[in-house]
Chain A
Amino acid sequence: MNARPTFLLDGVEVPFDPGQTVLQAALAADRHIPHLCYHPEFRPHGSCKVCTARIDGRMMTSCTTPAEFATEVESDTEELNDLRRTLIQMLFAEGNHFCPSCEKSGDCQLQALGYDLGVMTAGFRHLFPDRPVDASHPDLLLDFNRCILCELCVRASREVDGKDVFALAGRGIDKHLVVNAVSGRLADTNAAITDKAMEVCPVGVILRKREGFNIPIGERRYDKSPISEQAAQFAPRRPEAPRG
């Protein structure tokens, strides 16, 4: 094991296997770098920019940057955490994230990162966009108000389910999640509650009907410990390995 190459993350050595990215190696070593659009079972996407770190002096998304021997990675610095707070604030101001009425509250990665980084306000002027929900499907509810455009459902539906149920449409501030049906309704696709795409949403867009509040507020995943202390649970694993 001593032969494994290492890089420095905030001054501490992190071993890695060739082919791993900086974020994957860090998580495997139980070191947390804040991230949102990354999921251990999918190819890194690099779109949310929350995992940006200073790698040998350059700002890089740690989820897409291959780990290299003896590089110096800065992540837990006031400068980078300030930038991460700003990214999270912009996501909160851009959508309608009304946590008091959200079924995902306590299990939401956006919320948990906000807690962990000490985000006390969205700061910016809220956009209050008009995004009607889609309750057409018998088993599933889509609440587009909470979408952060991580594309995890798009990726899961395409790569795992082979269905292409979701896509992102539009550009810039107009970019939004759409359902791949002429009607635009989930009921008119072949989406099923057992699809991988229906379990990967890091926020509260894709919800299962008739399961609301099975686990009470206060006893949920991120009520127990901060997201940064659960790094090992986000570690890369083979798709066939059991999900934690």
Chain B
Amino acid sequence: MAELAQRKLRIATTSLAGCFGCHMSLLDIDERLFALLERVEFDRSPLTDIKHCGPCDIGIVEGGVCNAENVHVLREFRANCKILIAIGACAVTGGLPAQRNHLDLGLCLQEVYVTEPSLGRGLIPNDPELPLPPDKVHPLHEVVKVDYFIPGCPPSGDAIWKFLTDLLEGRTPTLGHGLIQYD
């Protein structure tokens, strides 16, 4: 722990099948970001634009798994991060993207790209560079081992701050009334 206290902890963050609302909530810790940055430094993250995750202490992943690229990114995070945190309803439960899970994927694509008149061209996208979607959207813990979960859509800045400070201080993170929320 002495060694940990001396060097800055390295954190990576990413959004898979998410809306970046959880990242916005992370920014909602406002001026406490300065206190956080005295303790941590960021690896791969929308805040740094680093493209691949290197060895890290903590990985924070927003969004569920809705395509093949999400699986690769999530596995890269798991392989590199000592502690992996699923943040937000989508990462924890599948969330909004998972609302398609009881529908047939082919019929979904048909409805959106062919039947729906507003798109006009009536073609299901088939560029080979597009990552393929699995038949269901999965929460993170169904694909890799997840160490901690922060529910909420999104969790509040206060909840994220409480969770991270607990973790950085070596306490078991707990949220309690008003901070734990599923909506």
Residues of A in contact with B (beta carbons under 8 Å apart)? 92, 96-102, 105-106, 111, 114-116, 118, 120-123, 125-126, 128-131, 217, 223, 225-226
Contact A126-B148, Cβ < 8 Å, known A99-B183, A118-B180: no
The residue in chain A whose Cβ has the minimal distance to the Cβ of B88 is: A100
Cβ A130 vs Cβ B102 within 8 A: yes
**Complex A-B, nearest 10 residue pairs according to Cβ-Cβ distance, in ascending order:** A99-B182, A128-B101, A100-B153, A130-B102, A121-B149, A120-B149, A99-B183, A105-B183, A226-B177, A100-B183
Cβ B177 vs Cβ A225 within 8 A: yes
Q: How close is B120's CB to chain A, nearest CB, in angstroms?
A: 29
Chain B residues within an 8 Å CB radius of A105 = 182-183
Interface assignment of B61: CB less than 8 Å from any CB of chain A: no
Contact A98-B95, Cβ < 8 Å, known A115-B180, A128-B101: yes
Interface string of B72-100 (1 = CB under 8 A from A): 00000000000000100100111110110
Chain B residues within an 8 Å CB radius of A97 = 93, 182
Interface assignment of B157: CB less than 8 Å from any CB of chain A: no
Interface assignment of B18: CB less than 8 Å from any CB of chain A: no
The residue in chain A whose Cβ has the minimal distance to the Cβ of B100 is: A128
Cβ A122 vs Cβ B177 within 8 A: no
Cβ B177 vs Cβ A128 within 8 A: no
With A98-B95, A121-B146, A122-B93 known, 15 other A-B pairs at CB within 8 A are A92-B93, A97-B93, A99-B153, A99-B182, A99-B183, A100-B96, A105-B183, A106-B183, A115-B182, A118-B174, A120-B149, A126-B93, A126-B101, A126-B139, A129-B102
Q: Interface residues of A: mostly helix, strand, loop or mixed?
A: loop
What is the interface size of chain B, counting residues whose CB is below 8 A from a CB of the partner? 29
Residues of B in contact with A (beta carbons under 8 Å apart)? 86, 89, 92-96, 98-99, 101-102, 136, 139, 141-142, 146, 148-151, 153, 174-175, 177-178, 180-183
Cβ B92 vs Cβ A98 within 8 A: no
Contact sample, A vs B, 5 pairs, CB 8 Å cutoff: A98-B98, A98-B99, A121-B92, A121-B146, A128-B94
Chain B residues within an 8 Å CB radius of A121 = 86, 92-93, 139, 141, 146, 149, 151
Cβ B98 vs Cβ A120 within 8 A: no
The residue in chain A whose Cβ has the minimal distance to the Cβ of B178 is: A223
Identify the interface centre among B136, B149, B183: most chain A CB within 10 Å of its CB: B183
Identify the interface centre among A105, A115, A125, A130: most chain B CB within 10 Å of its CB: A115
CA distance A100 to B183 in the complex (A): 4
Chain B residues within an 8 Å CB radius of A223 = 178
Chain B residues within an 8 Å CB radius of A131 = 102
Chain B residues within an 8 Å CB radius of A226 = 177
Chain A residues within an 8 Å CB radius of B95 = 98, 100
CA distance A92 to B101 in the complex (A): 15
Q: How close is A56's CB to chain B, nearest CB, in angstroms?
A: 32
Contact A120-B101, Cβ < 8 Å, known A99-B89, A100-B96, A126-B139: no
CA distance A97 to B98 in the complex (A): 11
The residue in chain A whose Cβ has the minimal distance to the Cβ of B153 is: A100
Chain B residues within an 8 Å CB radius of A111 = 182-183
Cβ A96 vs Cβ B102 within 8 A: yes
Cβ B136 vs Cβ A128 within 8 A: yes
The residue in chain A whose Cβ has the minimal distance to the Cβ of B174 is: A118
Cβ B177 vs Cβ A115 within 8 A: yes
Chain B residues within an 8 Å CB radius of A126 = 93-94, 98, 101, 139, 142
Cβ B183 vs Cβ A123 within 8 A: no
CA distance A47 to B44 in the complex (A): 48
A114's contact among B89, B94, B150, B182, by CB below 8 Å, is which? Answer: B182
Chain B residues within an 8 Å CB radius of A128 = 94, 98, 101-102, 136
Chain B residues within an 8 Å CB radius of A98 = 89, 93, 95-96, 98-99
